[in-house]
Structure 1
Amino acid sequence: MNTKLVSSIGDVARSRLLIVGIDTWLMDAAKLLTDTHIGLVVVCGPDGKMAGVITKTDIVRLIGTCAGGACRTRAADVMTQEVTSCCPTDRLPDVLSMMQQRGFVHIPVVDEHYIPVGVINARDALRVLMAEEEYEGSLLRDYVMGIGYH
């Protein structure tokens, strides 16, 4: 049974974390996502706690309906406030399963105070879990074949 925790991919998750304040202009949040493989920005309040997220899809949807100055929108006005997140101590297979059930590609990682510490990408999580399964499979194969045992 795979027992990898979210914290096992902490470095990658931290590298995917983009944070904006609730008063950030939406266009500035959009610029952060340009030319990245990151699909969302985490919106934080003045206390540093996650207040919501904005995805690339949210930005495209809003910009597609903008007329003139209507794109002068703040992050707080378009962010998703009810955010599904995970903690570093959650099991990676459980988080990946939840992401699959809800159709998420990215999910924020928050600490016990709801401060964002990273963003998990489903592909990163799958890569880690597959590598562990392959390693366990090779150990089992070696054991059955008697390789390395005398």
Structure 2
Amino acid sequence: MKIKDKPDFKTKPKPITFLPDDSVRSALDVMCEKNIGSIIVVHPDKKVTGIVTERDMMIRVLGKNLNPDTVKLSDIMSTDIRSANEDDSLVDWMHTMSSERFRHLPVVDAEEKLVNMMSQGDFVAHTFPDLYEALRQDLKGRLGRGFQFALVIFSILTLGLIAFNM
């Protein structure tokens, strides 16, 4: 499945963006107000130039005792970010984010302009039902029908004992 084909891709709120010369305070205020963990820094043409996360603010601003009112986002943003194309495979990026240990993925169009943002939570929400079903089928195959029958009988007896003792 392509990222843009994810059911909630088009209905997700648009990512919050700022310009490189905006202050850390302006981004911090919006992040607190909207309860979000990152913002994307873009050029005026909407091309991604960086990302600032709550961790960046803790380490690069508060940890260094800098004034968020005077520090620019360009001074603290991470610039070595990965971005996906909206036509890329959802599963491939889920694997990449997991193996490379990052949580936020800007999604761009063919012109490299920001169109959305995916988080690891978005990927988990997408894959959890499939993962649950695969696990259920795997257990069903491994345990066999006899074990399933015994488990049902055991559950009924346990519930009967609980009800009887009440």
Q: What TM-score bracket applies, with the shorter chain setting the length?
A: 0.7 to 0.9
Residue in structure 2 matched with residue 38 of structure 1 by the alignment: 36
C-alpha distance in 2, partners of 1:100/1:43?
23
> 1:130 Cα shift?
2.7
- Segments of 4+ moved more than 4 angstroms: 132-138
Aligned partner of 1:125 among 103, 123, 126: 123
Amino acid at match of 1:5: K
Note the residue ranges of structure 2 that are not aligned, 5 or more in a row.
141-166
Q: Which moved more, 1:53-62 or 1:32-41?
A: 32-41
| Alignment size in residue pairs | 135
Residue equivalent to 2:143: none
Match of 1:57 in 2: 55
Amino acid aligned to 2:2: L
Identify the residue that residue 48 of structure 1 maps to in structure 2. 46
Q: Unaligned stretches of 5+ in structure 1? A: 142-150
Tell me the equivalent position of 1:144: none
Give the aligned residue type for 1:6.
I
Higher relative contact order (CA 8 A, sep 6+): 1
Deviations 1:69-102 (A, max 9, x none): 4751111111111211111111111001000011
Q: Deviations over 1:30-87 (max 9, x none)?
A: 11211545321110112221111111100111222225x4751111111111211111
What is the percent sequence identity of the aligned residues?
A: 20
> What aligned pairs does 1:85-124 form with structure 2 within 5 A after superposition?
85-124=83-122
Give, in whole Å, the separation in 1 of the partners of 2:38 and 2:68: 22
TM-score w.r.t. the length of structure 1 is 0.77
TM-score by length of 2: 0.70
Partner secondary structure for residue 100 of structure 1: helix
- Please say which structure displays the higher CA radius of gyration: 2
Aligned to 2:73: 75
The CA RMSD over aligned residues, in Å, is 2.5
